[in-house]
Each structure stands twice: as structure tokens, then as C-alpha cells.
A = this chain, B = another copy of it.
Amino acid sequence: MKLLYYITFLTLSLRFDLSFCQSSPSLILTEQGVQKVKSHLGQVPIFDNTLEKVKSEVNQAIQVGIKVPIPKDLAGGYTHEQHKSNFFLLQKAGVLFQITGDETYANYIKEMLFVYKEMYPTIDRHPETRSYARGKLFWQCLNDANWLVYASQAYDCIYGWLSPEERDQLNKDLFRPMADFLSVETPQFFNRIHNHSTWGNAAVGMIGLVINDEELVKRALYGLDKQVAGDIIKDNDGGLIELPGQEEAGFLAQINHAFSPDGYYTEGPYYQRYAIYPFLIFAQALQNKRPESQIFEYRDGVLLKGVSALLNLTNSSGAFFPINDCQKGMSYLSRELVTAVSLAYHYGEQNPALLSIIEKQNRVPLNDTGIHSALAIVQGISKPFVQKSIQLRDGAEGDEGALGILRASANDETEEQFSAVMKYAKHGMGHGHFDKLSFSYYRNSREILQDYGSARWVNVEQKDGGGYLKENRSWAKQTVAHNTVVINQTSQFKANTSEADKHHGTPFFFDSSNEKIQVMSAMDTNSYPGIKLHRTMALIKSKAFEYPILLDLFQVDADSPQEVVELPFYYSGQVMQTNFDYKMSASLNSIGENYGYQHLWKEALGKPKDSVMKFNWLLDNQFYTLTSAVDVKDEMIFGRIGANDPHFNLRRDPVFIIRKKDINKVLFASIVEAHGAYSPITELAQNTYSNVKAIKVLYDEKGYSVVQFSDNQQRKWVFALANQNNSKTAKHHLQTDQLDLEWEGVYVLTNEFLEP
């Protein structure tokens, strides 16, 4: 096993290096790095500006003085924010000491650490009891680990400068106890396969590297032998403490389990962004202190692939797609990605496209990687970073579903980009949403069809201490909060996380090689017993349409008739027009009682007039139309989020739901189309109407599905899909009374076929 090899290798390597006695930094900053920085100061604008900002920030803090309050508050509260601020300041002061040589910074670190040293032995676990793993400085160990990851770096920067006695005191009374507290004393925190534990592992490992404590380093890399106490089974988010069949723990196990071979992290990009910092910073420390570990080559370089995956999991302004629990707005401008991108540049293949992202970040880590990339930018070798259509496989072996992203530029003249993101990956553990085969659709950074994200304002104390809100579970995670089919108004896996974690979506087909039509297709046979779901999305560029159109085919195939099958579209914007009549509710009631439906007001109910349903809306002065093949028995519902929301924790966003009743097999066939524009200044409205005339299902059986759509100029297209054969070379011939189609591969799009 490849894994075992690495472990042995690292174990051996640890034996030889622990006696090294440092006098200059060696954890993140190195002696060579410091020399390079010093010799280029004033010549590398991004580095110099970052340094100036950090200096000004730390100088100001030094003036204010050291504040180490007795821990009391939740996130957003004073003591929490103060301790958080302290660890960032410590790390920055360490860097400043090394770069400037000014002992003010070293003294500041020393003094603050000694205050912590005095307090730490006197405090028990945090008085706030809501965490499954309470910290000491903070309400949860996670934040204590954050503290230690940053403080270790500061400590490394002054380690050689401190007297041996000072080091001994700090090691004995602060760092070693803290490392033990986070590990052996809190195994339910340290020994998981989870981003919390990654922080714990990195914290313990990094302080171990600083103080040359081999036991701590080993503990960090391989976890505890100790079994987790049996009475703590789940964390606060419902995630399991111990994964089924979990056989390993520690940092290397995290790498083995957290990332797929494509660098995708099953919790989604928001948590990947959070987790990537301890992964990378501990890896950097290992690389510096244990270069023979070759940690950045571990598992085919999966850590750096993780950075690449993250950068592709963003909209055009760099904000992460809000897969699973994710607060919208988090982006590659975050401090974690500032560390990550320069690091990926330095330890990777010096990809010049990364430099353009660093230019947008407009700051670099003040270490070896930062000076390297800042110097490269000065050399003018930066190239634009192009976000690609990409499928990122999930699961440690890459065989547990995937996330698909299709992107198409609008045309040659503008830089507009349309992106469709479909999730057919694993559930995503405690932060996962019941959203298999859901998608979201972007125009540049604007959500046309949104994923709700999480119900949370991180660190905003007013909103329940900044933690997850009750509605995150009752609404945001539920299936109906997503753009995917809901069967009988019940969430996938009946909203059971453990069940959901056992299954993943099944990638069927992904092909982005043809610029004119890119296709992603995936199935799910587990979310609802006895029901097969198969969604295929095609992003099509044609001169017939102003912008790329998104063809969405959602097949539902159930063993038995289902009462209600609904497909929601969380459009953003203002309803302009429909081609059907609807009746506004005189008073509003929730659509249902459970699985998120209790949070949806039913604003209006419509019935189609014929077999083509059109819904036209306006967003940011641009028009959009959804055109769907419907049955006259179908219903269309205009809903709005916000029912049963006693503290206004939910946004009042709208939804449009297509409802089919008493069916066992159906194909939802829709086109999402951007068109036209409006200017409130010229008051000119252009292309306000859809150019899709009609869409209809020509054929839908086990073997094949065929839809036809046409435009206002009576041009017709036919899209045919082989439902069960994803071979790219298989030959198909489908002949019926109405059809005679031959093609090779999974699908065909023809605009030559004319309906008889």
C-alpha cells in the first residue's frame, strides 16, 4: 500500500531530526527566506504593501496593549474576538521580528505568551457548554487549535531569541499542556476525520516541531491510539465522531480521507477553504523541518491539487460556490487562500496563472512563498487565471460521485461567463445538504438560480452567537431549499445525515470538450427508495440565441406512482410575465409542514394553458426565461422563503416550483435562457422576450430520452440521450413513428432533424 510506505518513511525521518537546535526561524519562515525578503525589501510592491499594513496593524495593537481576558463569550462576543485577534497578532509580530529585527515585536510576543502562560493553568473548559468539544480559550476546541496553529508560528520566530529558561516555562506551562488538552484530553475532537481535527492535528504537530517534541509530532501525524469516549457520537452539526470503518487518524489520515484525487473536499469549498490552511501550513512546516517527508508530493500532490480545485470552485469574482453549509461571499480573497495560492505557486510548478489571482488578492504571506510569488509578479510573468469547465471527483479514491461545473462565455466581445454547477458528490458529512442533483446557475458572479447557502451569519453575535441557526437544519439543508426534484415533499434520505453519508451520486457523463455543447449528466438511486433520478444539463452556444442556453433534463423513474413530484427553481429577480394564468393567494400559508416546506409561503398557484410553460423575469436589468415542457395537469407555484421563521433568520427569496402529480415516470425538460437588457437611464428595453418558442419531450423510455426545442424563427433542435450507456463510442439508432435518429456516443444534438 502506497500509504504505508509514506508513513514508514516519515516515521524514520522523524528519528533523525529532532535534535536540531534552532536559532533562527525554521517552521514557516526560514533563514533563507528571511534573507531573500531583506535583500528585496522596497522592490516588491505587493510584499512591501502587505508588510506595511501588517506593521501598522501590529504597531497599533502594541500601543493599545496586551489584553488576555478570562474566556467567557461565544463567537462575536468580546473575549472570543479578543483571543482571536491575539493569535493573529502573535503570528504577525513574529514575522515582523524576523524581517525587521526589531525586538519590540519579540518582546510583545513574549509578554503576551507569558500572560497566557499564567492564565492557562488556572482555567477550566469554557463556561459555554454547547460544543461537543469545549475549548479553554474559546467555546470550542476548534478555536483553541486555531490559536495554537498561529501562536506556534510566533513562537518559532522568537524561539532562538528566548532564553532556555523562558522556553522551558512556556513549554511546560502553556504549550505542552495545550497540546495535550487538544489531543489526549479531547479525543472526540482530535481523532476524527474532519476539518476540526485537521486543525487539532496541525496545532499539535506545529508546536511539536517548534519545541522539538517528537511525541507531539507523531501524535499529530498518526493520531491517538486512544478510543474516543463512547458517549460522544455526533458533533453539534450531526456529523459522526467516528466514521464507519475508520481505521486511522491524524494528519496523514486527514489527507488520505479529506481530499479526492482531484483535490475536492467532501464538505465543499467553504470548509475546504477553512481546512486548507492547517493542511498547508502544517505541510509547509513539515517541508521546512522535514523536507525528506516530501509532503507536497504525498498522494500525487493532492494538497496542491486541493488549491487548484478551490480556485475552480468559484464564480467569476472568486466567491466560492455555496455547496453545503457555506456563507456566501467567502472567496479566494480570504486569508487562507492568500496563504494557499502563494504556497501553491512556490511548491508547485510556478503556474503564472496563480500570479494573477495573487494580484487580485493584493497581498502575500510574509514568508518564503510570498516573497517568491511577489518577485515573480514584479517580473511581469503573470497570466490570467481561466476558470474551466471541470468535473471534480469526490471520495478518497475518486469513485464516490463528483461535482460538475460547466462554463461558457457569452460571446467573443464580452467577458461574460455563464456557469452551471451540479452536485452529484457525497453528502458532505455534518455540513452536507440533502441536495443531490441540485444545481445553481451563474452569470459572472450573479446568481440567476441560486443555492441558498447556509442559514448563518458567521461571527455576528446578534444572530444566535454567530453560529448555525436553527433554520440551517430546518431549511437550508433540506432538499426543497435546492434546485432539485423533491418527491412527496420529503427530503432526500428523509433528511437523515448518517443515511445520506452512506451514498453518493453516480456520475454518468461529463464532456466539456465541445465549446458548442458541454454536457454533464449524473444519477441518484439512493435518495428516495425505489426511485431513480437522472439529471442531464447541456450548456449550448448557438448563434440563434443571444447568450448560451442551459438545457436541463431531469428524469424521474419510480417503481410506483408518486403523489407529488416537484422541481423548484430559486430564481432571483422580479416576475415579469408568464404564459399561464395564476391566482395570488389572498392570505399566505406555508406550502407544507416539514422538510423545509414549512418555511415556504405559497404566494400563487398557476395552471399551464398548454404543453409549453414560460416564465419570464428580470434581474439586474437583464431578462431571463424558463421554458418547460409541461402537462396541463401540472401546477406552477410561486413561493417565497420566510414562513415559520420566528426571528427573521431567512432571506425572503422567491422560488418557482413546477409540480407534477400522481406520476411514476416523467422527464422535466426545461431551458434556462438569458436574454436582453434594460436600462433605467435610457429606458430602452431590448430583447425582453425569450427566443425559445417551445420545448417538448419526443421520447422518454429506459433506453433513450429525446427532447426537441425550437426558436421563434421556427428553427428546431433535437437532443437525444442514451440513458444507460455512457460509452463515447457506442452507436445508437432510435427509430419510432416520429423519429429516426442515428448517433455515436452518449448524446446527440442536431438542428438538421425536422419534425415530420
Contact = CB atoms under 8 A, between A and B. Distances in A.
A400 interface: no
A315 to B, nearest CB: 13
A575 interface: yes
Contact of A688 (B76, B458, B574): B76
A627 to B, nearest CB: 15
Interface string A668-692: 0000000000101111110011000
B588 A601 contact: yes
A562 to B, nearest CB: 27
Nearest to A575: B648
B652 A640 contact: yes
A587 interface: yes
B459 A330 contact: no
A603 interface: yes
A329 interface: yes
Contacts of A604: 648
A651 interface: yes
A645 B584 contact: yes
Contacts of A646: 583-584
A654 B640 CA distance: 13
Contacts of A459: 683-685
A212 interface: no
Number of copies: 2
A356 interface: no
Main secondary structure of the interface of A (DSSP, over half): loop
Given A584-B646, A638-B648, A654-B652, A460 B688 contact: yes
A459 to B, nearest CB: 5
A329 B589 CA distance: 34
B327 A76 contact: no
Contacts of A685: 76, 457, 459-461, 466
Q: Which of A333, A466, A647, A648 has the most CB of B within 10 A?
A: A648
Nearest to A586: B644
A688 B462 contact: yes
A334 B681 contact: yes
A587 B584 contact: no
B680 A327 contact: yes
Nearest to A328: B680
A642 interface: yes
A210 to B, nearest CB: 26
Q: Which of A76, A331, A642 has the most CB of B within 10 A?
A: A642
Contact of A331 (B588, B603, B681): B681
A583 B577 CA distance: 34
Nearest to A678: B460
A647 B588 CA distance: 16
A583 B644 CA distance: 10
A72 interface: no
Contacts of A681: 329-331, 333-334
Given A330-B681, A457-B576, A584-B645, 4 more contacts: A460-B685, A460-B688, A461-B688, A587-B587
7 contacts: A329-B621, A329-B681, A331-B681, A334-B681, A460-B576, A461-B685, A584-B644
Interface of A: 76, 327-331, 333-335, 457-463, 466, 574-577, 583-584, 586-590, 601, 603-604, 616, 618, 621, 638, 640, 642, 644-648, 651-652, 654, 678, 680-685, 688-689
